[in-house]
Amino acid sequence: MILSAFLFLAFAIGAAWVRPWWWLTLFAMASAWGLAGGVLAPVAIVALAALTAAAYGCASAPHRWQRLVCGLLAGLLSLALAMHKLPGFHNPLLLDRVVLSAGAAPFTQYANFDKGAVGLILLALLCRRVTSWSELGAVLRRTAPVLALTLLATLGFAVAAGVVGVDFKLSSQTASFIAVNLLFTVIAEEAFFRGFLQARLALALSRFSWGAGLAMAVSALLFGAAHLGGGVLYGILATIAGFGYAWAYQRTQRIEAAILVHIALNAVHFIAFTYPARLPGV
């Protein structure tokens, strides 16, 4: 039942690109399996329904003040869910203090239904997505140089600062890490910081020549601040990466660009460098 809940949540995320509102049916099925399997309690359904309603209102309410109120509510609920501050979610533990690299800090990974659901709802209702294969090709071409520069800047700084070292590995956890990280972390973070926050701030500041740049900076700095729990250096690295994700989104105006740069950086970090980071003094 637990596996079914996350499989249907993954299918719902994929359906956001396929057919309008298919995602909602699959999301309802994921939630039902989550209730049956103990991943969700009834109070969690209330929170997820509230976020869905707020996001829909942000996108579709007839008056600007209504969209603003719904947007603020959607933002607060998204943050609370992504940070696991709301009750009713019992996310399963996948990796428990696994040491993936010699001298690395132990790594723990959960399958986060609450954060994955945030990504799905914001992606489906509030993010600009590609609508054709030809459009996807154009987005990928415009994203490629941003991807290369983001990898170079972020991982180069990480190596120079001694946070990570080169450590190529293809462990048994690689495929599951990338899939879980993409579906239940990366999509949520990019849907919130870029598709929701950056896009709406850029729109609000569109009459100013510097508006888009400020929106990029705000989304990147807030992304870095959200990762300060890992330490100051980790927050700096997240900010550098965040500027890359923000640039990819601004350059294409499509959420897929930011998602691609983000998951590519995480995958390269996991496969080719110390993960998640060196222990102090090592």
Q: The tokens of 250 are what? A: 């601004």
- The pLDDT, as a whole number, for residue 203 is 95
Q: What is the mean pLDDT of residues 157-168?
A: 96
**0.85 cut: is pTM over it?**
yes
Convert the pLDDT of each residue in 41-51 to its tens digit.
999 999 999 99
Q: State residue 96 phi and psi, 5-degree precision.
A: -115, 100
Q: The tokens of 201 are what? A: 């701030």
Convert the pLDDT of each residue in 195-251 to its tens digit.
999 999 999 999 999 999 999 999 999 999 999 998 999 999 999 999 999 999 999
From the list 226, 244, 247, 17, the residue with the least C-alpha distance to 120 is: 17
Q: Are 117 and 81 in contact (CB under 8 A)?
A: yes
Convert the pLDDT of each residue in 98-151 to its tens digit.
999 888 999 999 999 999 999 999 999 999 999 999 999 999 999 999 999 999
Q: Angle 113-126/42-60 helices, nearest 10 degrees? A: 20
Report the largest interatomic distance among the alpha carbons of the chain, rounded to a whole angstrom: 58
3-state secondary structure of 108: strand
Q: What is the Cα–Cα distance from 163 to 105, expressed in whole angstroms?
A: 11
- The pLDDT, as a whole number, for residue 253 is 98
Q: Are 113 and 6 in contact (CB under 8 A)?
A: yes
DSSP lists the bridge partners of residue 273 as 166
From the list 94, 104, 96, 124, the residue with the least C-alpha distance to 16 is: 124
Q: What is the Cα–Cα distance from 81 to 127, expressed in whole angstroms?
A: 18
